[in-house]
Amino acid sequence: MKSYLEHLNEAQRKAVVETEGPALIIAGAGSGKTRVLTYRIAHLISQGVPPWSILALTFTNKAAREIKERISHIVGQELAAKIWMGTFHSIFARILRMEAEHINFPGTFTIYDTTDAKSLINSILKNMKLNKEKAYKPGTILGRISSAKNDLLVPAAYAQDAKRSMADAAANIPMMPEIYERYVRECRKAGAMDFDDLLLYTNILFRDHPEVLANYQERFRYILVDEYQDTNFSQYLIIRKLAGKHKNICVVGDDAQSIYSFRGARIENILNFRNDYPDYKLFKLEQNYRSTQTIVNAANSVIEKNTGQIRKKVFSQNDEGAKITVIQAHSDVDEGFIVANHINEMRLRHRYQFQDFAILYRTNAQSRIFEEALRKKNIPYKIYGGLSFYQRKEIKDILAYLRLAVNPHDNEALKRVINYPARGIGKTTLDKLEALANHYNVSLWNVLTNPGLPQAGFHSGTVKKLNAFTNLISGFISQVPNMSAFDITNEIASQSGILKELHQDKSHESQTRLENLEELFNAIREFSDNKEESGENNGLVDFLQEVSLLTDQDTEKPDDINKVTLMTIHSAKGLEFKTVYIVGIEEGLFPSAMASTSEAGLEEERRLFYVALTRAQERATLTFARSRYKFGELTFARPSRFLGEIDQSYLDISAGANSFDPANAFSSVSERSERKSFNLKRNNVSKPQFRFSEEKLKKQSASPSFHFSDHDSSSQIQPGVIVEHQRFGRGKVIQVEGEEPNIKATVDFTNAGKKQLLLKFAKLKIIT
């Protein structure tokens, strides 16, 4: 049984076998954290600890599944299935369903996703006659509500919070307290919770019902938390309460990878663990098994600049590996083509698959240029954070019917399908139903099932249509207890008329939607079979809960696998790729301009850079552009301070024709004074130096120089001349035609391909 311990290094083994009392496991990037968490749980069970007394919390379903599968190989599937393991939201949703009566919610409550929550806010803003196009934007409102809930502020407390009142007034949204109050009221009326409610109501449950808390404190003798640095205040408080009796709490994480403060994550939770549990044991996992020595050492040289951290010495015994390539592009467009070309080159040279590459960027808006470049090079790619399978219209429609079948008071689901497929119930009728529901403070379903509906001012024809819809949903409700999730979905898709409508429409779009519905049926069948095998609940409520809490990493399809991955660095955490491109390494972009205004913000940006670099297993490439379009204006871009913070012995700054040229790194008309060094100072942040050795400078002294006039004379632009364009980079003139002042030149650019340019606007520079 204990042979699994032989697969651990000494530090990992100590973290696995010393199971009693509070423990903090600091796990550096790629140090085998998942293995340690897995083996620690397996070791507890092998020592006779009942699996149902173990609570293991993760941040993704994927991580929970992976850990549970590994445990089952050690202790057997039957025991592994009894562990309370899952995401924070799924575990607390399970507890809330069991204890729903204590908080006056139905056990079948709906979980609203972001789309549902914004739809509800839209309705509230409409009823309050507030302009959602200006200050009262649904996304902004939802963000403020989410922040309040994560800080455990209910509407009444929010209204009395002076700091938030000032912030709302400054943002020109003084009605926020009333909007929040209405939002909570409408959710309760609909028997619905949003993601943040799952944490908020768990805290309320444990606060107001100490006997319930005592029950779960007794049940969970051992508590393990993954990615502890990502916990917010609400999660932190629940964990502290649950661990209050036995104090056998083990948290695993890495303060150097704390990057989610915008979601409410508090790095203080992991930094102050020793204050919460003075008798804690500290374990450091410092050997990186993922990356080459060069990548690990380079990442260390950056993150050591942070002051707020638990010090550790991450090392690698893998191959030394290639140096990190630094590439300068002439423009953001050029950057896209350089990366696309580089991927093709590396794929052929090192026999990589497309799935071995990832392009990581600071903001979603950066993806467009890389998408265009990859498409032009016929390189397949996928984007994390795009439209999820479960967010597609046809899937949302059928899920809305399923939600109504278990909770008919779900107003958002009802509004979505009351006239889909079309059954003659228009907007005027729905507005009248909503007005009645608001007047009597009840759900739309209560209005529809009220015997007095015919006397509420509806025409007999309208009443007939509404009754037909009500009878349809009532029929589904009655079938749920007696049918499997798969069978009831099949019944609803057929009886609702959705399948009939899609079959009648012979368009390609309709066929695609049918294929998506088929995939949904496959997902439900797979869910039911897996839950049945593991002895877990596989009803419709359980399926809907699992779907509502899925993340991008949980919905990856087989046909998405062999593609280049494009994603924000925040989305990349927890993943790894053989080759990583970190793009847009420029001041104001990465680190972002807003984050750079404070020491804490800059340290989080540095942690974000650390996370990005440590996603790479074998090779990493850093790119930045000399110019970038912002709001339609071409602006000069300056290399990021992070480039200067990396120990330059780990950088390759002269690889390839389009590589970063240290001699001309800052040689623009407006920035020549910065050639010698890269000095930045903001809010007392120390000045990182970006210096190059004399040897490198001499090596570059013979490289081509640029004419720095606004543009070269049209008469000098002739076929065969090598020129440089501000956006497209370097190219060869193929053809010149026309007369002054409308002379055109066809230029074959190395990365951007052939372009025809009007010389009076092109500002071409001749390379001599």
Q: Flag whether 693 is marked binding.
A: no
Half-sphere exposure of 288 (CA within 13 A, CB side): 30
Question: Exposure of 159 by Cβ count < 10 A (0-12 exposed, 13-18 middle, 19+ buried)?
Answer: middle
31 is in an annotated binding site: yes
What letter does residue 529 receive in the DSSP assignment? Answer: H
Give ∠ CA 636-641-647 in degrees, rounded to 5.
135
Q: How many CA atoms lie within 13 A of 274 on its CB side?
A: 7
Q: Are 32 and 102 in contact (CB under 8 A)?
A: no
- Is 257 assigned a catalytic role? yes
Q: Which of 122, 100, 56 is nearest to 193 (CA)?
A: 100
Contact 561, 577 (CB under 8 A): no
DSSP assignment of 713-733 equals -GGG--TT-EEEETTTEEEEE
Whether 470 is catalytic is no
Is position 28 annotated in a ligand binding site?
yes
Structural Rg of the chain based on CA atoms: 29
User: Which of the following is catalytic: 34, 140, 495, 597?
Assistant: 34
Q: Quote the DSSP letter at residue 390.
A: G
Structure-token pair, residue 695: 């040897």
Residue 33 designated active-site: yes
Q: How many CB atoms lie within 10 A of CB 687?
A: 12
Residues 280 and 554: their CA atoms lie apart, in Å, by 34
- Closest by CA position to 186, among listed 235, 118, 136, 137: 118
Q: Is the peptide bond before 138 cis (omega within 30 degrees of 0)?
A: no
Strands 729-737 and 744-749: antiparallel
Q: Is 21 annotated as a binding residue?
A: no
Catalytic residue among 12, 38, 257, 623: 257
Annotation-wise, does 321 bind a ligand? no
The alpha-helical segments, DSSP class H, found in 535-598 are 540-548, 569-572
Q: Please, what is the end-to-end C-alpha distance for the chain in angstroms?
A: 72
Number of neighbours of residue 422 by Cβ within 10 angstroms: 9
Q: Cα–Cα distance between 237 and 639 in angstroms, integer?
A: 41
Active site (annotated) includes residue 20: no
- 176, 166 Cβ separation under 8 angstroms: no
- Determine the Cα–Cα distance for residues 437 and 445; give it in Å rounded to an integer: 9
Which two tokens mark 493?
A: 């898709």
Active-site annotation holds for 227? yes
Is 720 annotated in some ligand binding site? Answer: no
Selecting among 99, 194, 197, 227, the annotated active-site residue is: 227
Pick the catalytic residue from 113, 196, 226, 254: 226
The verdict on whether residue 460 carries a ligand-binding annotation is no
- 621 labelled ligand-binding: no
Sign of CA dihedral 22, 27, 33, 39: negative
| Pairing relationship of beta strands 222-225 and 192-194 according to DSSP bridges | unpaired
d(CA 221, CA 67): 19
Active site residue 182: no
Closest CA to 227 of 377, 525, 26, 450: 26
540-548 vs 393-406: helix crossing angle, rounded to 10? 140
Catalytic position from the list 615, 619, 727, 765: 615
Q: Catalytic residue positions?
A: 33-34, 226-227, 257, 615
Binding residues, by number, are: 27-34
Binding residues for ATP, by number, are: 27-34
